[in-house]
């Protein structure tokens, strides 16, 4: 009986951990929808939008989804922790120049995808992350999600 209860507890724990991971990660569709919302916010009031993105206000922070932007000089103009640092020089954990790739792919009115390796929040091992990227005036903005 004790062995059966232990086995059941282990199954419940595995199911709970799997559910928790799914809940804490945003999806591809949610990331793309957030980027579409980013476009509207930047077009309406760029200065206010960039502040909101950095602070995660107005629905611009959802689990591990958040927008980030870089200006014409290549530096982050919106990011929770990298504000003022170079987006253009950003490389993934294996050295891929993802910042340069984002700037090259960003086109006004078009959403492109960039894949790179990045650790999940609170972890150190890199996993595949995909960023949806676009250009809005002089801003290159993106929202990334982790592949499951």
CATH class entry, domain 26-146? alpha beta
Q: What residue ranges do the domains of the chain occupy?
A: 26-146
Q: How far apart are CA 113 and CA 105, in angstroms?
A: 8
Whether 38 contacts 67, CB under 8 Å = yes
Give the residue, 11 or 32, on which the prediction is more confident.
32
Q: Helix H segments across the chain?
A: 2-24, 28-44, 46-55, 98-105
Give pLDDT, residue 22.
45
Give pLDDT, residue 3.
53
SS3 80: coil
pLDDT tens by residue, 92-131: 999 999 999 999 999 999 999 999 999 998 899 999 999 9
Global pTM reads 0.83
pLDDT tens by residue, 24-47: 899 999 999 999 999 999 999 999
Give pLDDT, residue 16.
40
Instruction: For residue 94, give the DSSP letter.
Output: T
pLDDT tens by residue, 47-57: 999 999 999 99
Percentage of the chain lying above the pLDDT 90 cut: 80
**DSSP symbols for 15-54:** HHHHHHHHHHS--HHHHHHHHHHHHHHHHH-HHHHHHHHH
Cα atoms in the Cβ-side hemisphere of radius 13 Å centred on 39: 17
Residue 33, by phi and psi: left (phi above 0), alpha (psi -120 to 50) or beta? alpha
Across the chain, what does the average pLDDT equal? Answer: 88
Whether 123 contacts 137, CB under 8 Å = no
């Amino acid at each position: 009986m004790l062995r059966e209860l232990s086995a059941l507890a282990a199954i419940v724990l595995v199911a709970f951990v799997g559910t928790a991971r799914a809940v804490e990660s945003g999806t591809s569709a949610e990331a793309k929808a957030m980027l579409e919302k980013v476009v509207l916010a930047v077009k309406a009031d760029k200065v206010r939008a960039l502040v909101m993105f950095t602070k995660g206000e107005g629905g611009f922070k959802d689990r591990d989804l958040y927008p980030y932007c870089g200006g014409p000089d290549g530096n982050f103009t919106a990011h929770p922790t990298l504000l003022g640092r170079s987006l253009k020089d950003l490389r993934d954990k294996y050295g891929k120049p993802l910042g340069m790739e984002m700037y090259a792919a960003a086109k006004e009115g078009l959403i492109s995808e960039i894949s790179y390796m990045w650790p999940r929040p609170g972890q150190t091992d890199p996993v595949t992350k995909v960023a949806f990227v676009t250009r809005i005036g002089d801003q290159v903005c993106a929202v990334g999600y982790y592949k499951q």
